[in-house]
Amino acid sequence: MNDQAAFVKLVETLSPWAQQLVFVGGWAHRLYRLHPMAETPVYQPLTTLDADVAFSERERFEGSIKARLQEAGFEEQLTGHHQPPVSQYTLGEDEPSGFYAEFLTPLIGPSTTRDGKHLATLGKAGITAQRLRYLDLLLTSPWTVALTPEWGAAAPIDLRIPNPVSFIVQKLLIHDDRPRDKKAQDLLYIHDTLELFAPELDNLAEIWRGEVRPSMPEKWAERALREKEALFGVLHDRIRDAAAIPQNRDLDPERMRAMCAAALSEILE
């Protein structure tokens, strides 16, 4: 089973909770191509083996997500020492695509309790979500796209993804905490997202002013603007690393930097 077929199977399995879940991470970036505002690029999207599925801690789920995943053939893998432990869901040895799904939820407030316990995970509907700072941005004003039979879906099926402004701003905010290889990849995600929606920068600026920035603490907004300047103000090795990632196109690092700097300045005004 290829990764696209595996992803469609995951979306179909989670369809009872479609209005409570948001597909984030690399798959969200790949799915932007399905949105009517997106350009049609000539190059292939970045691929990823993991599907990140986010939800708010306030959600109240009917039924067991874990049971439905297992009925569909996904196997649970528990890792880490947290309670509850982190859970990942793979398609097992019979379908060795390497694809797996994991669940995420925002970390809001302190990262530990008063007695020093780390608030690293959250159990809901039988599955465990990792708590991550800034993830709540990805749940702000999400967009909806439809998987079509061309994707392998039995029938068109809607799913929610972050709006691209939230996607980009969250990448800016988490950048310093990412491993080196993920930093370069995230810069490429920002570049490619801006390229996909290049004719819609005015609309993205409206989303920033009217929806995303009002949902953020002011210190987050100020940090995002500082990171924009730090990451795209001058050419540096992380941009060079990002430009070298794609094997199917030739990216010029300085042109990549300049485009991101100009587009972000227009959006995050």
For CA atoms 209, 214, 216, 218, the dihedral sign is positive
User: Does the pLDDT of residue 96 top 70, yes or no?
Assistant: no
Confidence of residue 183 (pLDDT cuts 50, 70, 90): very high
Task: Please indicate whether residue 180 or residue 64 has the higher confidence score (pLDDT).
Answer: 64
Cα distances from 141 to residues 89, 165, 189, in angstroms, run: 27, 10, 20
Check: CB of residue 227 under 8 Å from CB of residue 260: no
Cα dihedral 66, 64, 52, 90 in deg (nearest 10): 20
Query: What does the pLDDT read at residue 97?
Result: 65
Q: Distance between CA 254 and CA 65 in Å, rounded? A: 46
Check: CB of residue 119 under 8 Å from CB of residue 113: yes
Residue recorded with tokens 């080196």 = 180
**Residue 221: CB partners within 8 Å, gap ≥ 6?**
213
Confidence of residue 253 (pLDDT cuts 50, 70, 90): very high
Confidence of residue 82 (pLDDT cuts 50, 70, 90): low
Q: Distance between CA 203 and CA 191 in Å, rounded? A: 17
Q: Distance between CA 66 and CA 250 in Å, rounded? A: 43
Query: Structure pTM?
Result: 0.94
Query: What does the pLDDT read at residue 226?
Result: 97
Confidence of residue 120 (pLDDT cuts 50, 70, 90): confident
Q: Distance between CA 159 and CA 12 in Å, rounded? A: 10
Query: What does the pLDDT read at residue 45?
Result: 87
User: Does the pLDDT of residue 94 top 70, yes or no?
Assistant: no
Query: What does the pLDDT read at residue 16?
Result: 97
